[in-house]
Amino acid sequence: MIKHPSFTVEEWKIHETELNLDILAQTESVFALSNGHIGLRGNLDEGEPYGLPGTYLNSFYELRPLPYAEGGYGYPESGQAIVNVTNGKIIRLLVDDTPFDVRYGLLQSHERELDLRAGVLHRTVNWVSPTGRSIKVSSTRMVSFTQRAIAAISYEVEPIDSSVRIVLQSELVANEALPDAGKDPRAGTVSLSPLEGEEHEVRNTRGLLVHHTQASSLRMGAAMDHQIEGPKGMTIEAESTPDIARVSVSAQLRPGERLRIIKFLAYGWSSQRSRSAISDQIIAALSAARSTGWEGLLAEQRGFLNDFWKSSNIEIEGDAEVQQALRFALFHVLQAGCRGEQRPIPAKGLTGPGYDGHTFWDTEICVLPALILTLPRAAADVLRWRHSTLHLAKERARQLGLRGAAFPWRTIHGEASSSYWPAGTAAFHINADIAYAVTHYIESTEDRAFEKEIGLELLVETARLWRSLGFLNVNGEFRIDGVTGPDEYSALVDNNVYTNLMAQHNLRSAAEAAKRHPHVARALGVHAGEIASWSEAAEKMFIPYDKSLNVTPQDDAFTSHEVWNFADTKTDHYPLLLYFPYFDLYRKQVVKQADLVLAMHLRGDAFTAEQKARNFAYYEPLTVRDSSLSASTQAVIAAEVGQLQLAYDYLAEVAFMDLYDLEHNTRDGLHIASLVGTWSALVAGFGGMRLYGGSLAFAPRLPESVARLAFRILFRNRCIYIEVTATDVRYSLIEGSPLAIWHHGDKLALSTNEAVIRPIPRIKVGPRPTQPPGRAPVERAAQSYSCKTTEQPHHSVHLRP
């Protein structure tokens, strides 16, 4: 059953059965392999053709000046951009006199398969060269989850019907030429030849290159070694220049004979370590990998994934496409987060150069909730990374005239790197978002060591920021003016409700944590008066309310603004930011992405059920979803207010975001936060899972076409298994001591003795909210996704209709 133009629907695989060069860049992102430490885009082995070549190392970036035609105090002067580092994926093939290049000759068959349980990318090609030689090429590529510095490739070629002379050139290539990034502000910037050579060497089948960046002064090394199996008479040569290391194998192959190379790749990088230390480090990593061997690496990989799927698998019955997309999503979230180890998770993971490789607030707000409950160690590592940049955030706060810490809106290394100030500097909510993740992690794990060592200081410094950013007015209201909330089609608003509610949570959490750990707090300079001032600010936090409309305004003035003229906005003029000036978006009621609706998810305790339904109905017709972060939140709240089919439609949009390239920029990398949104839409949406004040609550409810939803979470050293059907829910404690949870408002006691089954109560539901014309999600009815791309012909690269 092939429903997708490029990919078949399979339970545990993404399977491509033909090669479409128009969407090559998108498939390079889809087939990217990573372990959070190193990342290889799914470029073809032979290097060309490519959509966008990409090899990335977490936090390996170059600085670039941020230009301003008219500057201002406190504007970041220097940006950071992820570097496309030495490409070790390349294995070129010469068939007689002709290079293997799918653009020439005849491509008889092409298959690529991302195996989500094996953790490898397979490729099989049958090709006839322009001079009539038939060959078969098979390759398998992996980035090891267990040996984080290591990637490996098995590559084999065999002639089909006649004897051919084969030359394989396995390479390391630095400073590849890159295509122009175009004008879309969401794409990354390109630096020509960012790497300066320091060392190059080949010895037998091993090659090594060491480079450094010019401005950021980071050093990196890439090394390769090979196991080669081929016919008698095969010859091997090696050579190197500063930017290329090459091992060439030449052999005459008769039909039935094969030439096979196992290529082991190692990467190492540092801002501190010397050239020889880096060289030694990668040579050592190579030795370990060779000693494990190709089969050993495959076995480790499968074992690692077995463990992951055991605790993280979600089953959804009745929608094979969503099931596949969900597993694809979880696999990529795992790839982005599992071995980052105190480095950030970029918005695109390590799958592409989009957003310059930066990390934003969505790491904490979108990605961490899933990691906390499936891979809590990885979640802690991300927060440890934030903590490691605290000195920079404190310095930034000082520069801005504020106390505490002001974390950057976007960054790789911790410095503020946003050149667009209304969305950047003023988007202070990121500080409360980090604090929220800290609290969420601690409540879900009871990791007190983390709380004392990392968490408390993050809470304290962010609380200090809020206390100095807001002020108590004469009416005793604590106001936070002039900030940018999540919705980037508003800016510099007063009392953004999301920001104020999250700041309130931040201030409260800091006060509570400081009281729990008085000694640590005192070491951070916290005194009783300061704690009291946080509590007072939290208590008096001003939350505007529009009594005439009976809804919560996104900010003080939002509901008094003119509603965007949706009727006269052409459907191909989205995303609006590419067709309308910001000043006009800012002054009207139009929402780029869930803002007040996100507040209702994360701070649902601050709204009644009736308010949630009314607010959701108000904001849906204003929300254009020009951000990939929006639909999953809309799915969660739609489910909560009982709009289950709408939630399901949003779920599908989230699930297919990258597989269908719905935002037209999958070429620049996958949307990690959107991928993880599939998990959120199911677990927080249809599962109704919330964690407020340490209490774990569920309120499951399924849309008609989903027969069954089952998922697992790790919570306070327990494993809980939840199975939902149309009528009832079964809660099982798989592992761990007894625990109280909530089901649709009722308290339940869970133990490993037996599962608890509860019926799903009915809910009164209003009419289905509408969206702006042309912006409703595609209805998920016939179990096939009418790809929206065909309606929106304004971007450069498209999926085939």
- Which residues sit at the interface with its own copies, rule CB under 8 A? 66-74, 79, 183, 185, 399-401, 418-422, 425-426, 471, 473, 479, 481-483, 491-492, 494, 556-557, 560-562, 577-584, 586-588
Nearest to its own copies of 80, 129 (CB atom) = 80
Q: In the complex, what is the shortest distance from the CB of residue 541 to its own copies, in angstroms, rounded to a whole number?
A: 15
Nearest to its own copies of 157, 426 (CB atom) = 426
Point out the annotated binding site for substrate: 361-362, 592-593
What tokens appear for 88 in the block? 């070790």
Of the candidates 600, 645, 636, the one whose C-alpha atom is nearest the C-alpha of residue 618 is 600
Q: How far apart are CA 324 and CA 304, in angstroms?
A: 20
Of the candidates 284, 307, 336, 278, the one whose C-alpha atom is nearest the C-alpha of residue 143 is 336
What tokens appear for 522 in the block? 């005192």
- Contact indicator for 213, 196 with CB cutoff of 8 Å: yes
Nearest to its own copies of 66, 748 (CB atom) = 66
- Contact indicator for 56, 39 with CB cutoff of 8 Å: yes
DSSP-assigned letter for residue 567: T
Nearest to its own copies of 76, 340 (CB atom) = 76
229 in active site: no
Nearest to its own copies of 62, 243 (CB atom) = 62
Nearest to its own copies of 171, 415 (CB atom) = 415
What tokens appear for 516 in the block? 């729990």
Q: In the complex, what is the shortest distance from the CB of residue 368 to its own copies, in angstroms, rounded to a whole number?
A: 26
- Contact indicator for 718, 735 with CB cutoff of 8 Å: yes
78 has which bridge partners?
65
Q: How far apart are CA 632 and CA 629, in angstroms?
A: 7
Q: In the complex, what is the shortest distance from the CB of residue 794 to its own copies, in angstroms, rounded to a whole number?
A: 13
Q: How far apart are CA 175 and CA 65, in angstroms?
A: 20
At a CB cut-off of 8 Å and minimum separation 6, what does 74 contact? 399, 400, 425
- Out of 488, 530, 620, 663, pick the active-site residue: 488
Point out the annotated binding site: 361-362, 592-593
Nearest to its own copies of 133, 396 (CB atom) = 396
Of the candidates 657, 643, 663, 623, the one whose C-alpha atom is nearest the C-alpha of residue 774 is 623
* Residue 51 identity (one-letter amino acid): G
- Contact indicator for 111, 123 with CB cutoff of 8 Å: yes
Cis peptide bond prior to 49, omega within 30° of 0: yes
Q: In the complex, what is the shortest distance from the CB of residue 326 to its own copies, in angstroms, rounded to a whole number?
A: 33
718 has which bridge partners?
715
Q: In the complex, what is the shortest distance from the CB of residue 561 to its own copies, in angstroms, rounded to a whole number?
A: 5
Q: In the complex, what is the shortest distance from the CB of residue 17 to its own copies, in angstroms, rounded to a whole number?
A: 39
- Contact indicator for 340, 58 with CB cutoff of 8 Å: yes
At a CB cut-off of 8 Å and minimum separation 6, what does 773 contact? 566, 567, 569, 571
At a CB cut-off of 8 Å and minimum separation 6, what does 124 contact? 109, 110, 111, 136, 137, 138
- Contact indicator for 312, 374 with CB cutoff of 8 Å: yes
Sheet of 244-253, strand order: 98-99, 91-95, 164-173, 244-253, 235-241
Q: In the complex, what is the shortest distance from the CB of residue 414 to its own copies, in angstroms, rounded to a whole number?
A: 18
Question: E-assigned strands of 71-163?
Answer: 78-82, 91-95, 98-99, 106-115, 120-128, 134-143, 150-159
At a CB cut-off of 8 Å and minimum separation 6, what does 561 contact? 587, 588, 589
- Contact indicator for 135, 157 with CB cutoff of 8 Å: yes
Secondary structure element (H or E) that encloses residue 521, with its range: helix 518-523
Q: How far apart are CA 350 and CA 520, in angstroms?
A: 36
- Contact indicator for 619, 596 with CB cutoff of 8 Å: yes
What tokens appear for 520 in the block? 């640590």
Q: In the complex, what is the shortest distance from the CB of residue 419 to its own copies, in angstroms, rounded to a whole number?
A: 3
Q: In the complex, what is the shortest distance from the CB of residue 411 to its own copies, in angstroms, rounded to a whole number?
A: 14
Q: In the complex, what is the shortest distance from the CB of residue 175 to its own copies, in angstroms, rounded to a whole number?
A: 23
Nearest to its own copies of 305, 493 (CB atom) = 493
Nearest to its own copies of 182, 759 (CB atom) = 182
Q: How far apart are CA 158 and CA 156, in angstroms?
A: 7
* Residue 282 identity (one-letter amino acid): I
- Contact indicator for 84, 178 with CB cutoff of 8 Å: yes
Residues annotated as catalytic are 488
